[in-house]
């Protein structure tokens, strides 16, 4: 097998430093040329573009932790002890969930290497025997936009003029009113929105098609106003939202997640509130519904989550409730108390 022929040539004692890599008799680029590319085969087998992008980034993260080029495709050549060391190195650099994602991607590449005949089944089994599962957790990412902040945000966006103002209000209309993810907002097409039913048909995470109803009349109005302006544009692009700014009219370009992140940062600064991300709009949507008494199962469906445990992580009420409960008790320690 190709693996057996090259294993006598390539002896990788460690994978983390440039000095170690200089001891290779074949550089990583030569290795990639000598072997069929299991990384490309693994990524091609994933269902959606989003999955391919996510897993490609996870593999690049692992490669950087190993001190290798981003395009290194010779994962099958590493020994089990080197892969275990790589897992430890990843855990030193990243959050547990991030480490887990990189290991899932790496396991997929190793499985593809086995299917391609680059390693035996026994070698594959040994390679993915990482040892004990790394334990650990972090506080949920992101934040909840408080009602007071939301009032400032609404007042600021209401004052934005022109196409840019319509675009911002329309984007927030579908994010706060329908809990759309940033990439879902970017990929919306004109035919996706039903102005009569005030609903949106979209293909979301996991390549699943859903129909999302806008939550309120005000959010639907913001979307309708953008749609009216959008119809007057001569752009032939199919996208529902088109990129624009304060200083120039809309272009026939779809939005990007990066553009939406910058939009949220700019709006937060203009409104005088703490910075927030596009995904914080989903967290705010879920928390507001749960706070209003909507049951978790219903919120799970509206959020389009597979598991209720995922939805529960979007609930940001607990920290506020715990702080309020603790403060109802007289001060346990008062450094300014007098006898």
144 is a catalytic site residue: no
Query: Is 332 inside any structural domain?
Result: no
pLDDT at 29: 44
Q: What is the CATH number of the domain that holds 273?
A: 1.10.443.10
Q: Which of 42, 144, 164, 314 is catalytic?
A: 314
Considering the domain architecture, whether residues 35 and 84 belong to the same structural domain is answered as yes
DSSP assignment string, 325-336: HHHTSPPS--TT
SS3 243: coil
205 is a catalytic site residue: yes
Query: Is 330 inside any structural domain?
Result: no
Q: Give me 270's structure tokens.
A: 């203009």
Question: What is d(CA 328, CA 312) in angstroms, rounded to the nearest whole number?
Answer: 26
Considering the domain architecture, whether residues 181 and 105 belong to the same structural domain is answered as no
Cite the DSSP H helix spans in the chain.
2-7, 18-21, 28-34, 38-44, 49-65, 80-93, 96-115, 121-127, 147-158, 162-178, 182-187, 217-231, 257-271, 278-291, 296-303, 308-313, 317-327
Q: Sheet containing 209-213: give its strands across.
A: 193-194, 199-203, 209-213
Quote the Cα angle for 312-314-316, to 5°.
100
Considering the domain architecture, whether residues 282 and 214 belong to the same structural domain is answered as yes
How many domains does the chain divide into?
Answer: 2
Considering the domain architecture, whether residues 120 and 217 belong to the same structural domain is answered as no
Other CB atoms within 10 Å distance of the CB of residue 29 = 12
**Residue after which a domain boundary falls, among 97, 127, 157:** 127
Looking at residue 189, the DSSP 8-state letter turns out to be: B
Considering the domain architecture, whether residues 112 and 208 belong to the same structural domain is answered as no
Question: What is d(CA 195, CA 237) in angstroms, rounded to the nearest whole number?
Answer: 19
Q: In Å, what is the CA distance from 42 to each residue of 28, 50, 155, 315?
A: 19, 14, 48, 35
pLDDT at 137: 63
94 is a catalytic site residue: no
Q: How far apart are the first and last CA of the chain?
A: 84
Considering the domain architecture, whether residues 155 and 283 belong to the same structural domain is answered as yes
DSSP assignment string, 29-51: HHHHHHS--HHHHHHHTSSSHHH
Considering the domain architecture, whether residues 278 and 165 belong to the same structural domain is answered as yes
Considering the domain architecture, whether residues 99 and 240 belong to the same structural domain is answered as no
Q: Which of 61, 169, 282, 316 is catalytic?
A: 282
Residue 20: alpha-carbon gap to chain centroid: 34
Query: Is 298 inside any structural domain?
Result: yes
Query: Is 333 inside any structural domain?
Result: no
Question: What is d(CA 90, CA 17) in angstroms, rounded to the nearest whole number?
Answer: 14
- Does residue 99 contact residue 134 with C-beta atoms inside 8 Å? yes
Query: Is 138 inside any structural domain?
Result: no
Query: Is 139 inside any structural domain?
Result: no
Q: Which of 279, 283, 304, 316 is catalytic?
A: 279
Considering the domain architecture, whether residues 170 and 319 belong to the same structural domain is answered as yes
Q: In Å, what is the CA distance from 263 to each residue of 268, 284, 291?
A: 8, 17, 27
Q: Closest by alpha carbon to 82, among 1, 10, 9, 6?
A: 10
- Does residue 202 contact residue 184 with C-beta atoms inside 8 Å? yes
Extract the residue ranges of the chain whose pLDDT is less than 70.
1-36, 69-73, 131-140, 234-235, 246-251, 339
**Residue after which a domain boundary falls, among 82, 97, 127:** 127
Q: Give me 12's structure tokens.
A: 């990788």
Considering the domain architecture, whether residues 217 and 156 belong to the same structural domain is answered as yes
Q: Which of 64, 79, 205, 221 is catalytic?
A: 205
Q: Which of 181, 230, 304, 316 is catalytic?
A: 181
- Does residue 222 contact residue 173 with C-beta atoms inside 8 Å? yes
Question: What is d(CA 339, CA 334) in angstroms, rounded to the nearest whole number?
Answer: 11
pLDDT at 32: 41
Considering the domain architecture, whether residues 116 and 251 belong to the same structural domain is answered as no
Query: Is 236 inside any structural domain?
Result: yes
pLDDT at 94: 85
Query: Is 276 inside any structural domain?
Result: yes
Considering the domain architecture, whether residues 151 and 117 belong to the same structural domain is answered as no
Q: In terms of residue numbers, what domain contains 208?
A: 147-323
């Amino acid at each position: 097998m190709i693996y057996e022929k090259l294993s006598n040539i390539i002896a990788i004692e460690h994978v983390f430093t440039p000095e170690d890599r200089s001891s290779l008799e074949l550089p990583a680029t030569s290795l990639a040329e000598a072997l069929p590319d299991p990384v490309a085969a693994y990524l091609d087998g994933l269902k959606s573009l989003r999955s391919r992008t996510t897993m490609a980034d996870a593999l690049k993260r692992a490669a950087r932790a190993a001190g290798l080029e981003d395009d290194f495709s010779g994962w099958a050549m590493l020994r089990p002890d080197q892969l275990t060391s790589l897992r430890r190195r990843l855990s030193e650099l990243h959050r547990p969930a991030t480490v887990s994602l990189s290991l899932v991607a790496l396991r997929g590449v190793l499985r593809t290497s086995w299917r391609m005949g680059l390693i035996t089944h026994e070698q594959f089994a040994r390679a993915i025997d990482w040892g004990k599962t790394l334990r650990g957790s972090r506080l949920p990412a992101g934040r909840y936009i408080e009602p007071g902040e939301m009032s400032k945000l609404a007042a600021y966006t209401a004052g934005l003029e022109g196409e840019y103002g319509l675009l911002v209000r329309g984007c927030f209309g579908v994010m706060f009113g329908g809990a759309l993810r940033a990439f879902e907002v970017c990929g919306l097409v004109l035919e996706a929105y039903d102005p009569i039913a005030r609903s949106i048909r979209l293909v979301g995470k996991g390549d699943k098609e859903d129909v999302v109803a806008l939550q309120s009349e005000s959010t639907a109005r913001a979307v309708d106003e953008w749609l009216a302006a959008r119809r007057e544009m001569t752009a032939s692009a199919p996208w529902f939202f088109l990129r624009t700014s304060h200083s120039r009219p809309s272009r026939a370009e779809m939005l990007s997640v990066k553009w939406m992140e910058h939009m949220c940062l700019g709006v937060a600064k203009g409104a005088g509130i703490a910075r927030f991300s596009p995904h914080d709009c989903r967290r705010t949507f879920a928390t507001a519904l749960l706070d209003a008494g909507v049951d978790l199962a219903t919120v799970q469906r509206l959020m389009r989550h597979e598991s209720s445990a995922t939805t529960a992580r979007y609930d940001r009420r607990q920290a506020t409730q715990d702080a309020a409960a603790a403060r109802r008790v007289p001060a346990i320690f008062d450094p300014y108390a007098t006898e």
